[in-house]
Amino acid sequence: MEWSTHEVTNVVTELQDYNVYTTDLPLQEAVRRAGAGAHETELSAYGARLGSAETIRMAEEANHFKPELHTFDRQGRRIDRVEFHPSWHGIMRMAREQNLVAQPFADPRPGAWAAYAAGFSMHGQIEAGSQCPNSMTFACIPVLQREPELFAALAPKLYSRTYDARDIPLEQKDSILVGMGMTEKQGGSDVRANTTRAEPLRGEGRGGEYLITGHKWFFSAPMCDAHLVVARTESGPACFYVPRYRPDGTKNAVQIQRLKDKVGNRSNSSSEVEFRGAWGRMIGEEGRGIPTIIEMATFTRLNCVMGSTGLIRQCLVQALHHTRHRSAFGKTLIDQPLMRNVLADMALESEAATLMMMRLTEAFALADEDPLQRAYKRIVTPAAKFWLAKRSVELSGEAMEVFGGNGYMDEGPMGRLYRETPVISIWEGSGNVMALDMIRAISREPQAMHALLEDLAPFCRQDARLSDAATALVAGLRTQGEATEWLARRHAQLLVLLVQARLLGEHAPAAVADAFIASRFDAQWGRVFGMLPDGVAHAAILGRAWTQ
């Protein structure tokens, strides 16, 4: 029998076959300002590839068909192998070929850092789980560069743009990935509570070979070809380079206990492992393992800023696409005044995040000797990681609400985006850890903080709201005792908002900067999207938000 009860109308077709780069005007402008114009052809091509129906399908499949752990082969031999859906490998191959593992270090062209930030944040809009192993590999490079002999052997494989998923000794591979193992059950963020031990095998101290015994509660990602691992020696915590295979070609004694069943980030494998006399080589100074691996974490936190920026952007784009094509009460949703307020507010958040991401990337690209660049790298980075991760959680929920009940269904894109945002707020240092890291960095780098405040001052003096906020920040940072920690989140929030206002004031149209300041420094601002005051130029803000 052929009949139907109704005609399907006013239903929005899924967003696909669009260019992630060329539809993002603030990102394009930032790339050009950073002197990365030579990279735009590649970024545009990658943006088109990311937004294609094929790539979006691969991203969905990589998250639907989760990684599977195989501890033994058919003959009963221990293999500790994680198997992935072919779409995962397709996504990983795209990132590698785009040089999103080592571009700032391997690409000699001007603007490589800016191109990397743009490409990494765009990639995360479509598939965020694959950013984890690529981010850790990127972040290990500056740490391994301090070990000349080891790095000379690894550099060609780290810099390679060929994806190699084979589970074989890294000496035989075309390219490699490097992960991280820090936290244990009893310690979490308190790495000094770790109990995993390393005993000398040949030589002692930097470059020595050790056997490691213990566990890691979070070990990402277990199929990486090597990991940087913290373990204790007689002199205290040390950092070790632990390959998946020993130098003699036999599998190293790192046994995967299980894969984590995560709320989101499902395409990526995170695990618990035990070291049963695993072979490792000490890198960095003995007893200085935590500062050694924290240097790696400094770079992964920059990647977290890029990841949150990408997720914020994709949530905005999905909301704009939906509201342009869905009608209610006689108008398209985007023409409804209150909805325009919500969307414009989200657009402000996205552009502010993009400018923050690109400014931090600039600081990482420049020499540490400049106090202002050190301030952005050491002080603003943890504050930005704290703030943007929190804002992405809030904004993803708001964007889901734009879709109504359809947004809450896993058939659409918003469920995965919503589940993906909280992990960035947790991994590589929770919100509290980031806020406290900012405070510690200020105490260690007073000259850098002074340079940052001096840089903000001329702009803040132009507006009483900003001037009052800057004065409050300076006064707050002078607090003593427990109040220093008690107020750390408040100070991080205020610092980031001031920096974002400064960046928007310098680089964005007046309509965007004015609306951001009018809302974020309004005493009535409650962090709920859609609270922009009357008089904001909604049309100008939305007109540049997504040029599709």
Report pLDDT digits (tens) over 348-403. Answer: 999 999 999 999 999 999 977 899 999 999 999 999 999 999 999 999 999 999 99
| 128 CB burial (10 A radius; 0-12, 13-18, 19+) | buried
Residues forming beta bridges with residue 242, ordered by sequence position: 227
Residues 20-24, mean pLDDT to the nearest whole number:
98
Domains and CATH numbers, the chain: 25-159 (no CATH), 170-288 (2.40.110.20), 292-545 (1.20.140.10)
| Cα within 13 Å of Cα(87), Cβ side | 19
Average pLDDT, the chain: 96
d(CA 380, CA 347): 22
d(CA 207, CA 229): 14
Angle value at C-alpha 249, between 242 and 215, nearest 5 degrees: 30
d(CA 376, CA 330): 48
pLDDT of 1 strictly over 70: no
Residues 495-505, mean pLDDT to the nearest whole number:
98
Looking at residue 309, its pLDDT comes to 98
Which tens digits make up the pLDDT trace of 90-132? 999 999 999 999 999 999 999 999 999 999 999 999 999 999 9
Cβ-Cβ contacts under 8 Å for 86 (sequence gap 6 or more): none
For residue 302, give the amino acid letter: L
What pTM, to 2 d.p., does this model score?
Answer: 0.97
DSSP for 444-507 reads H-HHHHHHHHHHHHHHHTT-HHHHHHHHHHHHHHT--THHHHHTHHHHHHHHHHHHHHHHHHHH
Report helix angle 488-507 to 464-477, nearest 10.
150
pLDDT of 456 strictly over 70: yes
Band of residue 454 on the pLDDT scale cut at 50, 70, 90: very high
